[in-house]
Amino acid sequence: MLVLILSVVVLLVIGGCVCVFWAARGDAPRWARGVARATLLGSELARSSNRNSRSRQNGGDDSSSGGND
């Protein structure tokens, strides 16, 4: 059952990437542009949540120096 769910998720991700590529070419229908927009929004949300979780693990310090010079 878990394999089936993961397979569906992977197929949705691949379909979203195809729609992003198709929309970037400029000849995509309206529904594909909508899917592409949703895919890009989802990727931005995932990226921002990843940044937030990393900053919480580092104690809220966003500096990239890593040491005190």
Per-residue pLDDT reduced to its tens digit, 14-64: 999 999 999 999 999 999 999 999 999 999 998 998 777 777 667 655 555
Give residue 41's pLDDT.
Answer: 95
Q: How far apart are CA 21 and CA 4, in angstroms?
A: 26
How many Cβ atoms sit within 10 Å of the Cβ of residue 23?
20
Q: Are 36 and 22 in contact (CB under 8 A)?
A: yes
Give residue 30's pLDDT.
Answer: 96
Look at residues 19, 54, 9 and name the one whose alpha carbon lies nearest to residue 40. Answer: 19
* Residue 69 confidence (pLDDT) above 70: no
Give residue 31's pLDDT.
Answer: 96
Cα 13 to Cα 47, 59, 60: the distances in Å are 15, 32, 31
Confidence of residue 2 (pLDDT cuts 50, 70, 90): very high
